[in-house]
Structure formats: structure tokens, C-alpha cells
Amino acid sequence: MEQQIIHTQRWAITLAEELLKMEADRIVVLTDCNVARQDWLRRGLCELGKILPIRIDSIEIGAGEEYKNLETLVSLWKRFSESGLTRRSIVVNIGGGVVSDIGGFAAATFKRGVRFVNVPTTLLAMADAAIGGKTGIDFNGLKNEVGAFAPARKVIIDTSTLSTLPEQELRSGFAEVVKMTIVTGCRDLYNRLVEPDALHNEAILAAGVRYASDEKEKIVREDPFDSKGVRALLNFGHTAGHAYESYAAEIGHPISHGEGVAHGMLAALRLSHERNGLPIEDVEEYEEKILRRYYQPLPFGKEAAERLEELMGHDKKNKNAGEINWILIDRI
Amino acid sequence: MEQQIIHTQRWAITLAEELLKMEADRIVVLTDCNVARQDWLRRGLCELGKILPIRIDSIEIGAGEEYKNLETLVSLWKRFSESGLTRRSIVVNIGGGVVSDIGGFAAATFKRGVRFVNVPTTLLAMADAAIGGKTGIDFNGLKNEVGAFAPARKVIIDTSTLSTLPEQELRSGFAEVVKMTIVTGCRDLYNRLVEPDALHNEAILAAGVRYASDEKEKIVREDPFDSKGVRALLNFGHTAGHAYESYAAEIGHPISHGEGVAHGMLAALRLSHERNGLPIEDVEEYEEKILRRYYQPLPFGKEAAERLEELMGHDKKNKNAGEINWILIDRI
């Protein structure tokens, strides 16, 4: 099932137009409590209501990964059921990855599949999480243990919604944008991302989001169920990154996904230099102009090496237990 | 995703062979407590264990539609998670429609999709429920309110497992076999189904199951998400049938799905005679040799007409509220 990525500067109007084309009999808008209190959201929903001649319901969930759980899922199913959602209705997920993950899964499993549209409002969701059909909840203490491959029919991206995003969230998503330019070899855009203060330059950020989201869509289209290995490319920097995240949490100094990935990419670039002949200048440029500029040092040193190797061996993306799969490159 | 239907007379050996081909790293066998106590099941699992060099876990759920609920679903996810099921594992649903509906849904949503195989053990499941990818649970008082389209990779059908099936269940499934020969115009097989005591004739039953399951698979392949109207054919007799079921429940004399459909088919045949020129002899033959032979009269009379029409208007398969869609035929 194809997934249409739409870039816009007026998300509410674009959303209204797309929903009209989709002939929904009803809309449910899902947000989290952070997004719900933004002025741009209230204004947008108001515009939506003026254009759409159908009933629009709103559901708000708690903000943060800890709400991506069974309890929230069941509450969404219940709300859908009680409000009489039909298979012609559409769920609109406005928020970060948690909102599109759980809202997408709830929609995909209600009446065996209600259509949904994602409007990502974090950099991470725009560049990565909202695209590609991976939906689900954390369960039994494990991330995304329950879920489905179910693409949003449309992903509507408006980078103006990033204006209210906390700095920390911006940095977390930036790592994924940088990653995409590295793994797809888009040197031109990478050169802009290493410019001073690129993270706060609206034009550069918008270009980065547009590029990363379109590339992600292409990669996903080739491998919708993550079964052919094509998506492995997206794992660049994540082998070490996930291990850093886990270890940091173990020692009581948790780091964000973006921080883990940013440091993980340095490890992958270094290994790419040693094994694949990536010029050392590229490694140094990344370290100086991306990693040092936007990310804190890791909260541990060389003493972690043994445990990190162990953690990398447990990564669920490894085919065989104990084996570590690195994604390496030979040029940026 | 194609769904392979395999007819066999030694289900356990066939299952073992197929699982070997699928290179599973582990098997979970799901049954209900009725199936679990059958000798043929115990013998079969024993054979399975001898042939398969991998770990086999068993899970047993309560028997009956009332266990097709959220609580059972969550308990299955929990068992899958705790026993460390991976995306290379396979869930084997051995039982009637409840087992394949909930087991299929739990598998399809565990780690975004674990493969599953159905071994239907009721006539209804063999001819209908186990085939076609409709999985799910009842929720908020509504049937299949939560679920997904997720086909079993393989459906292994062995009619010898019907030997321990209660008469009432046999009759319920028989209606669907008869329906399939009518809507696909297979007069030859229909002629065998109207033979005296066809329901207890192993050869006729086996031929009926083989035909109905293969035809269902073909129809589903053309319309996997029930979106093109092709599957509507399968709804023959169900418009009135569902209304009969609902009304009978309302007045405190519940009837089985098969009974409802058997009577619903008479209504559809009569209307086909009136509107489409179906010979009256065909209507009479059905009434005498199928309906009267195997099914009790409906527990209500003409006084129900008004309420039945109302119920038919509510059928979720109707495109527009209040409109009643009848599937009619011009010959058997």
C-alpha cells in the first residue's frame, strides 16, 4: 500500500483538502497533551472544522513513551467503538512518534482496519517515525512488542510546527536527518547540515526534513515489511547507538535516542574508515561539526567496552545471536 | 499474501512437513479446551514432536465465542512475549473459528507479525472461518470490533478431525458448504449434498469441504480486504440469516449461525425465484432436502416481519443505512 508524503506550509488546509478527497464519513483527531495546548494546533483544528462538513472528534493522550502502552491502546479502541467510528472514518494522528505509533496501530486494528493520516510535529517523526508503517505499543517491558505494519495513507509534513519543539527534541531528530544524508550519499545536503547552527536554520531544516522523509518513503516502498534487508541501511549508527542508550540507562544516566544515534554514527564512521577506506577527514568533520556541536559527551568511558559489546550482540536486528551487524559506508 | 490450502488425511505429519519447510525457530500450538482433550490431538502433537527438532509450546484457551475477547488476547501476547517468541517462530491454531480468529490476530500483531498456520477442526472453520485472513476479537459488546486482515500462511484441512465434532456444530458448518455450491453454481456437488443423510457421509462431506475451502480461497484472493464487492457473494443467505440470529436472541430463543444462514438461504432462494426467475423446484428441493432435514423451524413466525426488516437494515455489510442488500441467484 503506497504512502503519500505531502510537504506543506499550511498543514490544516492541506489536511482538510486531503480528507475531503478521501471521502471520510467522520474524523478522529488524536494528539498528546503537549501538542493539544499549542496555539497552532487550536487554530488549525478551527480551520479544519470550517472546511470539513463532517463530525470531528478529538482524543488526547498523555505525552511520552510511557503512554505508548496497552492501557492507552484499549482506551482508544473504546473511544472509537463508542463514538461509532466506521470503516469509512479516518483517524488523524497529530504529534510525535508515540502518537503515530499508537494511533496508527489502534486505527489499523479497529474493525480490521480504519484509514489513518499522520501529521508529524517533531523532527524525529517527520524524518523517520511517521513514515513507513511501523506501528505498535510497548508491552511486557519491551519496545514495540505488539504492533503491525500499517502505513498511514498520507503523511502531511509542515516544518512550521517545529517552532514550538523543545531544543532537546530537535537535536534528537537532527541525528536521523544527518544519518539519511550519510547513508544515501547526499553530500550536498550534508554540507549544509554541517554549516554553523544549521539546527536552527529554518531553510536548512526544511530541506533536511524534505530529503529525509522522501528517502525514507522510497526505502520503505522497496521493503515494506522490513524483510529484504533494504531497511538495514536505516540502521546506520543504530547498532552502537542502541547499546549506548541501554548502557546509559543501566548506569542511571539515560540519554535520548538521538544522542545515542549521534554517537553511534561516530563509531560507525570510524569503523568505515578502518574497514572501508572512508577518508579520516569525513570522520573528523562529523565529530567536530555535528557531534560536538549538538550532543553532550557520553556519560561513560572506555570502562563500558565489554558490556557495550554484549549489548550490541543482543540487538534484535542481528540475524544470529551474538553476531554484530554493522552498516558501513565508503563515502558520505 | 497468498494462502495455501492443503488437504490431507494425516494432519500432524503434513503440519510437521510444512513447518519444516517454513524454517521456524519455535512453534506455539494454540487450541481450546475441547480440542485439547481429544485423543487425535494428543496423538498428533506427539507425532509432531517426534518429527520437529525444535521447541514446541502449547497454549489452551477457553472454548466458545465468549473467550474471543480482550482478556484472552492479552494473555496470548503475554505468553508469546514471556516464552521469547521471535519473528521466525510460528503459531499453529488448531480448532474452530474462535481459535483461528484470536490466535491469528495475536500472532499478526506480535512483534508486528509472526507467521501462523491454521488447522481447522470444525466444519465451519474448514469451509469458511479459517480461510481468508479475517482475524480479531469481540470488543465492547460487538463482534470482531478489533482485528486485522492477516492470512494464515497455510491452512491444513483434515476432515478426519470432524469425527468428534458435535452434531450441532456439524450442521452449522454444513449450511456454509451448501451455500458455496449454490453461489458458485456447482450443481454436481449440490446434488450430492441433497442426498439422504449427506451430512453423515464422510465422502460427501470431504468433497464438500474441499470444494468450499478452495472456492473461498479463490474468492478471497480476488478481494483480500473485502473492499471490491467480490466477497459479497459469500454473504448469500446471510442478510436474513443475521437478522434471524439477532431476533431469535432478542426473544430468548437463540439459534446457531448455521441455523440462521440455512433459513436465510431459503429467503434468498425465494426472492431469487420471484425476482430472478430461479425455478420454484430449486426452492422446494432446498427446503425439503436441506432445511427440513437438518434444521429446526425458526422460533418465531410472521409476527417478526417488521422487526426483522429493521434488523436487516442495520447489517454492517449494507453500504447505506436502512438499505438492504440481497445477494440473489438465477440458477443453482
Phi-psi region of A279 (alpha: psi -120 to 50; beta: other; left: phi over 0): beta
How far off is chain B from A195, nearest CA to CA, in Å?
Answer: 39
- Sheet with B154-157: strands ordered across: B4-7, B154-157, B115-120, B90-95, B27-32, B56-61
- Residue in chain A closest to B146 (alpha carbons) equals A110
A299 class by beta-carbon count within 10 Å (0-12 exposed, 13-18 middle, 19+ buried): middle
- Say how far apart CA A201 and CA A180 lie, in whole Å: 18
A70-104 pLDDT tens trace: 999 999 999 999 999 999 999 999 999 999 999 99
Per-residue pLDDT band for A229 (boundaries 50, 70, 90) equals confident
Question: What value does the mean pLDDT of chain A take?
Answer: 93
% of chain A exceeding 70 in pLDDT: 96
Number of H helices, E strands in chain B: 14, 8
Shortest distance, CA A148 to any CA of chain B (angstroms): 4
Q: What is the pLDDT of residue B328?
A: 79
* Grid cell for residue A224: 515494506
Band of the pLDDT at A266, cuts 50, 70, 90?
Answer: very high
Pairing of strands A27-32, A56-61: parallel
Only one residue has cell 458435535, namely: B166
Q: Which helix (H) or strand (E) holds A30?
A: strand A27-32
Cβ atoms of B142 and A112 within 8 Å: the answer is: no
Structural contact between residues B289 and B278, judged by C-beta atoms closer than 8 angstroms: no
What per-residue confidence (pLDDT) applies to B231? 85
Helix/strand/coil for B250: helix
Residue with the bigger pLDDT between A323 and B273: it is B273
Cβ within 8 Å, pair A112-B139? no
- Please choose, from the candidates B136, B74, B71, the residue with its C-alpha nearest in 3D space to the C-alpha of residue B99: B136
| pLDDT string in tens for chain B (332-residue length) | 678 999 999 999 999 999 999 999 999 999 999 999 999 999 999 999 999 999 999 999 999 999 999 999 999 999 999 999 999 999 999 999 999 999 999 999 999 999 999 999 999 999 999 999 999 999 998 989 999 999 999 999 999 999 999 999 999 999 999 999 999 989 999 999 999 999 999 999 999 999 999 999 999 999 888 888 888 889 899 989 999 999 999 999 999 889 999 999 999 999 999 999 999 999 999 999 999 999 999 999 999 999 999 888 766 555 555 566 777 787 77
What are the backbone angles phi and psi of residue A7, rounded to the nearest 5°? -95, 135
pTM over 0.90: yes
Of the pLDDT bands very low, low, confident and very high (cuts 50, 70, 90), residue A119 is: very high
State the pLDDT at residue A320: 54
A146, A314, A319, A320, best to mutate vs chain B, most B CBs in 10 Å:
A146
More confident position, A194 or B329: A194
pLDDT digits (tens, 9 = 90+) for A282-303: 999 999 999 999 999 999 999 9
List of chain A residues whose C-beta atoms are within 8 Å of the C-beta of residue B109: 105, 109, 136, 146-148
Separation of alpha carbons B232 and B137, rounded Å: 22
Contact B243, B218 (CB under 8 A): no
Q: Which helix (H) or strand (E) holds A263?
A: helix A257-276
Optimal mutation site among B22, B145, B318, interface A, most CBs of chain A within 10 A? B145
Among residues of chain A, what percentage have pLDDT more than 90?
Answer: 85
